[in-house]
A and B are shown apart, each in its own frame.
Chain A
Amino acid sequence: EVQLVESGGGLVQPGRSLRLSCVASGFIFDDYALHWVRQAPGKGLEWVSGITWNSGNIYYADSVRGRFTISRDNAKNSLYLQMNGLRTEDTALYYCARGRNNDFWTGQDYWGQGILVTVSS
């Protein structure tokens, strides 16, 4: 069974940093691209960042470029999102999601349950 479990969220003050983690199981981790997608309370979905299977290509939404860094450790079946310079508008439920295959340009077929990040003073 494919599982994606996020951790590392919480309440943080504006300007501070937070690191999200996502541990995967039930599939061959380094066969797939991975993504972070967020959802502000009561709002729609916003793609945040994605990374290819070998970390060779990385992409970001304009809203987070220069502040967030995505990375993965295939040996640990783990995906990360380092978030620096957090803003109140970054408050959201952050989902870890798997691409459908090793091609980056696919939809996301498995999602974690999400981890809440609240940015507030």
Chain B
Amino acid sequence: EIVLTQSPGTLSLSPGERATLSCRASQSVDSTYLAWYQQKPGQAPRLLIYGASSRATGIPDRFSGSGSGPDFTLTISRLQPEDFAVYFCQQYGSSPQTFGQGTKVEIK
């Protein structure tokens, strides 16, 4: 099973600042099979990025993904109030699909 480790656990930032979230895999993951999700309290996860760098439908361009196995990054260029949430990375290239433990982006 591929273990994904996200850092930091919590990121405290102000609106307008840049957020950089990391996801490291325990073994190499093809970038084709890496996704990022956003989850707000009481809501289902929302797909942001797939294939490490492709934005899902309707996702603003302030969200960008990069990296290659084993290290991947989600960047939010200028935080908007609605971006404060928990973010999960996921690998879906091998079974079982696995998620990172999440990074909480909170208002400083």
Contact = CB atoms under 8 A, between A and B. Distances in A.
On whether the two chains bind one another, the answer is yes
Determine the interface band of chain B, counting residues with CB < 8 A from chain A: 20 to 34
Nearest to A96: B44
Interface in A67-121: 95, 100, 105-109, 111-114
A65 B15 CA distance: 44
A100 B92 CA distance: 11
Q: Tell me the dominant secondary structure on chain B's binding face.
A: loop
B96 A45 contact: no
A80 B44 CA distance: 19
B47 interface: yes
A41 to B, nearest CB: 12
B33 A105 contact: yes
Given A44-B101, A44-B102, A45-B88, A109 B47 contact: yes
Interface residues of A, number: 22
A47 interface: yes
A66 to B, nearest CB: 14
Contacts of B95: 50, 59
A107 B1 contact: no
9 contacts: A44-B88, A45-B90, A46-B99, A47-B96, A107-B35, A107-B92, A108-B47, A109-B47, A113-B44
8 A-B pairs with least C-beta separation = A107-B35, A111-B44, A47-B97, A45-B99, A59-B95, A61-B96, A107-B50, A109-B47
Interface of B: 1, 33, 35, 37, 39, 44-47, 50, 56-57, 88, 90, 92-93, 95-102
Given A107-B35, A111-B45, A114-B44, 16 more contacts: A44-B102, A45-B45, A45-B99, A47-B98, A47-B99, A50-B97, A60-B96, A105-B33, A106-B50, A106-B92, A107-B50, A107-B90, A109-B50, A111-B46, A112-B44, A113-B44
